[in-house]
């Protein structure tokens, strides 16, 4: 009876406030979740894997020792992916992280090209930002991937020590030097000789991943892999 009643209430509330597609704002039909079938089919999947070299790997060449990198989607301005990530970051829609993480995690596991990942570690937010937003937008994404890979999700080792926002007025070089100390490890022992998958929402220049990877490399013999929800396609060849 109670379940039935709550179904009715849900149906009524979805009539009053129809659920709309995060991609195109059309009303979702029964069975559609977050995005409509058209937008789902239009999602620009990279189809990159963890065995063949791709454009995400090339971002880090000569900069940082990343074993392998991969992104799930191409980010385009005003595209579906941008709208999805906007809901995730600014509209309290953590379900977007579930949606992408579950899909990507399942894909990675099914492909079978990456295994023996010990820890999945998110690019951290500064605690003030975390408090303001209430969640790290990468958390659910990383947790789903960790579950699929039988790895442990750890957000207590790699930490962001200062807020970079105040540095935007400074010159490029000054910013770079200050950014170097933005990320730190709570301890360097736990990750020694481990395979770590560093996860982020979007890779543009790769600067954030580079800084995080440098911090992670304080751990001896660590092997770093990278996975992101999206990558900016102007970096493609």
Task: Name the site residues for Zn ion (rule: CB under 5 A).
Answer: 21, 23-24, 36, 39
Which lies closer to Zn ion via its Cβ, residue 33 or residue 63?
A: 33
Q: How far is CA 15 from CA 10, 64, 217, in A?
A: 9, 52, 52
Distance in Å, CB of 35 to Zn ion, minimum? 5
Which lies closer to Zn ion via its Cβ, residue 23 or residue 124?
A: 23
Which lies closer to Zn ion via its Cβ, residue 36 or residue 146?
A: 36
Which lies closer to Zn ion via its Cβ, residue 19 or residue 180?
A: 19
For residue 151, give both structure tokens: 């790895």
The residue length of the chain stands at 237
User: Are 175 and 167 a contacting pair, CB within 8 Å?
Assistant: yes
Which lies closer to Zn ion via its Cβ, residue 84 or residue 222?
A: 84
Distance in Å, CB of 100 to Zn ion, minimum? 16
Which lies closer to Zn ion via its Cβ, residue 23 or residue 105?
A: 23
Nearest to 72 by CA among 90, 97, 36, 94: 97
Report the C-alpha gap between 121 and 57 in whole angstroms: 18
- For residue 210, how many other CB atoms are within 10 A of its CB? 17
Nearest to 66 by CA among 219, 214, 188: 214
Distance in Å, CB of 85 to Zn ion, minimum? 15
Distance in Å, CB of 57 to Zn ion, minimum? 31
CB-facing half-sphere around the CA of 5: CA atoms within 13 A = 2
Distance in Å, CB of 30 to Zn ion, minimum? 15
Nearest to 233 by CA among 83, 42, 58, 25: 58
Distance in Å, CB of 22 to Zn ion, minimum? 7
């Amino acid at each position: 009876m109670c379940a039935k009643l709550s179904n009715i209430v849900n149906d009524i509330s979805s009539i009053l406030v129809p659920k709309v597609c995060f991609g195109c704002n059309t009303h979702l039909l029964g069975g559609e979740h977050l995005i409509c079938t058209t937008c789902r089919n239009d999602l620009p999947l990279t189809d990159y894997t963890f065995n063949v070299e791709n454009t995400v790997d090339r971002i880090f060449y000569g900069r940082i020792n990343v074993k392998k990198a991969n992104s799930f989607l191409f980010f385009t301005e005003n595209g579906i992916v941008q709208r999805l990530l906007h809901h995730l970051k600014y509209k309290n829609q953590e379900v977007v992280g579930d949606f992408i993480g579950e899909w990507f995690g399942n894909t990675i596991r099914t492909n079978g090209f990456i295994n023996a990942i010990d820890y999945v570690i998110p690019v951290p937010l500064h605690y003030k930002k975390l408090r303001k937003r209430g969640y790290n937008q990468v958390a659910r994404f990383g947790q789903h991937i960790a579950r699929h890979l039988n790895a442990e999700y750890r957000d207590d080792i790699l930490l962001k020590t200062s807020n970079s926002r105040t540095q935007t007025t400074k010159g490029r070089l000054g910013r770079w030097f200050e950014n170097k100390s933005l990320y730190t490890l709570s301890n360097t022992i736990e990750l020694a000789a481990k395979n770590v998958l560093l996860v982020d929402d979007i890779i543009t220049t790769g600067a954030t991943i580079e800084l995080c990877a440098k911090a992670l490399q304080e751990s001896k013999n660590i092997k770093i892999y990278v996975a992101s929800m999206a990558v900016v396609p102007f970096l493609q060849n």
